[in-house]
């Protein structure tokens, strides 16, 4: 299994050391549970579609709603992504039809709502800004002022999940 520390490898060393101390003390999961005690209730694709639509309508009225929004159980494993935004163009008769879709890793069905919100905001921002550049992150922060903190905390949550899985595997439990 890959090193869970990869989620924060590009952060400053003092911050990585603080996280390492939380992990060494076995307090990372408790720290996150204290900050984000409640999970959301969005459990299926129609609910996710409505959730994404509400955020899009509030911040990006001029952008067309994606044709499909869904949870994807293979996303994090196969594509090493937490969410993806795809545009597909097909020829239909003499016309080109473009369809957009947003797929969110299904592990976010059992996540704190702010983490799902951060992933949705990230994918919605890609409807307007394709690249991860300054304009992209400014748009993310416009929609979610604490975007960067939530992105970092989501990375910690992913680390905690992997560390729990590693711990259970080492103890001979099925994950």
**pTM of the predicted model, to two decimals?**
0.87
Q: How far apart are CA 127 and CA 100, in angstroms?
A: 9
CA 42 → CA 2, 108, 146, distances in Å? 29, 9, 21
Tens-binned pLDDT, residue by residue, of the chain (175 aa): 567 788 999 999 999 999 999 999 999 999 999 999 999 999 999 999 999 999 999 999 999 999 999 999 887 765 567 888 887 888 878 888 888 899 999 999 999 999 999 999 999 999 999 999 999 999 999 999 999 999 999 999 999 998 887 554 444 444 4
Give yes or no for a contact between 83 and 102, defined as CB atoms under 8 angstroms apart: yes
Q: Assess contact for 65 and 98: CB atoms under 8 A.
A: no
pLDDT at site 172: 45
C-alpha span between 85 and 104 (Å, rounded): 9
* Pairing state between β 83-92 and 95-105: antiparallel
Residue 95, pLDDT score = 86
Pairing state between β 83-92 and 68-72: unpaired
The full set of domain ranges for the chain reads 11-167
H-helix or E-strand containing 169? helix 147-170
The reported pLDDT for the residue numbered 89 is: 83
**What's the length of the chain?**
175
Closest Cα to residue 31, out of 116, 115, 157? 157
Give the neighbor-by-neighbor strand order of the sheet with 68-72.
68-72, 95-105, 83-92
What letters, b where the CB count within 10 A reaches 16 and e where it falls short, cover 76-100?
beeeebbbebeeeeeeeeeeeeeeb
Coil, helix or strand for 84? strand
- Of 119, 117, 131, nearest to 82 (Cα)? 119
């Amino acid at each position: 299994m890959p090193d869970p520390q990869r989620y924060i490898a590009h952060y400053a060393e003092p911050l990585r050391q603080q996280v390492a101390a939380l992990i060494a003390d076995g307090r990372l999961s408790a720290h996150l549970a204290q900050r984000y005690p409640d999970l959301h209730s969005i459990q299926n694709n129609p609910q996710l579609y409505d959730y994404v639509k509400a955020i899009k309508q509030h911040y990006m009225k001029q952008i067309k709603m994606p044709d499909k929004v869904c949870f994807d159980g293979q996303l994090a494993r196969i594509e090493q992504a937490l969410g993806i935004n795809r545009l597909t163009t097909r020829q239909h008769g003499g016309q080109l039809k473009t369809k957009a879709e947003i797929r969110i890793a299904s592990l976010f069905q059992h996540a704190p709502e702010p983490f799902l919100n951060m992933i949705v905001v990230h994918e919605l921002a890609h409807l307007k800004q394709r690249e991860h550049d300054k304009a992209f992150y400014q748009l993310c922060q416009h929609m979610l002022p604490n975007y960067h903190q939530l992105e970092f905390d989501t990375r910690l949550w992913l680390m905690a999940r992997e560390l729990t899985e590693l711990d259970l595997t080492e103890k001979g439990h099925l994950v």
